[in-house]
A and B are shown apart, each in its own frame.
Chain A
Amino acid sequence: MAELGIVDIREIIGVIKNVYQYDFSQHALTSFKQRLERLMRIQAIGSADGLIKKLKEDQGYFDTFLHEMSVPSTEMFRDPSLWRWLREEYFPQNIDKSPGKYKIWLPACTSGGELYSLAIVLAELGLIDKVQIIATYMSEKSLELIRSGVYDLKKIEVSQENYKRFNGTRDLPVYYKPGKDNVIRDTSLIESVEFRKVNLNFDNMPQNVKLILFRNTLIYYNPTRQETVLQYMYRALSVSGHLVLGIREKISGLLSARDFEFMNEAESVYRKKI
């Protein structure tokens, strides 16, 4: 499998921009290159020209492309200490006080690891009826897979360890059934979740959101796009709304740092400044 050069990548990005008006030029190059090479490997596309031809000639392919380019969440209940904090402090203190439904947005819901973890926490707290969850992503195929409950069998072992560290009130296996070479998660957990397709600019994003779960997606952007996307998040949040980023993502070097303050530094939770 040939490696992609910078020129190849620029050309692919250019074609996508021309044909589909999606601009990936502000994505972090190393990860983007790696993801492209993975896609070409699993779809047996031998060269950059082959991929470009496919993108130009088959418009139906683009959704699959977007699906494969997304990095799935690593496992359920990643960083169990965050989930413990959400269950023990954050949700009890915030949801009950909220008039109307508590709006939670997952902007880059790529494989549902975060979504199902969130739904399980809320179900175990008995608060799932008090929230409105909106899950968005660019690819219809990604959203469809999440709705179907299918999940990677490889990720179950770590997810179970995480769930134990989270001290869940049940056993994780009650939330899924074994499939052939995967597991099928209990889709009743996500019955009331609203799924929306968005583009790179989150055109269709919700408003007045109380909590945004956006962990480990900024890492795939360059600092310019990190800034832009943080401003989208800022606009989507309600007054004093909250934003959760990944543990090793930080905004202190960005202009947007002035718009947010720490709510829980150890778990990378921010509050929108007034």
Chain B
Amino acid sequence: MTLKLSDKDIALINRVQNNFPLCERPFEAIAEGLGESTKWVINRLKELEEAKVISRFGSVVKRKNDSFSTLAALKVPHERVKDIAHLVNSYNEVTHNYLREHDYNLWFVVQSNSEKKLQAVLEDLSQHMDFPMLNLPVLESYHSDMVITL
């Protein structure tokens, strides 16, 4: 279900996602910047938190340096997608798995605390099926933050 947001809501959400004021009364500072009352800001944010639009107010930590991950893709015939997706999901190391419109149609992220375990998952997977697989590890990260301006 999607919540209906007004332009005021959108401005508020965009303001609180990043560079949150570090002062004793931060919501007062936000309200001033937006030309709203502090009471409205706090009440609206509480409502958005209750509606789970805001999942947390705090810190976002970078992925730990001791974790290894890769993006992998499989070219799976249409009629096999469901059961192969199920097989891929069965590995605890798989954190994300999406069907996408492409010849390579099943895209999943594998994450582990060792490179060896990561490779073991991919090898194990390829022993259970023989569809073409891509393994696309990151060489350089330019931007990684699931914050988007609405």
A, B in one complex: no
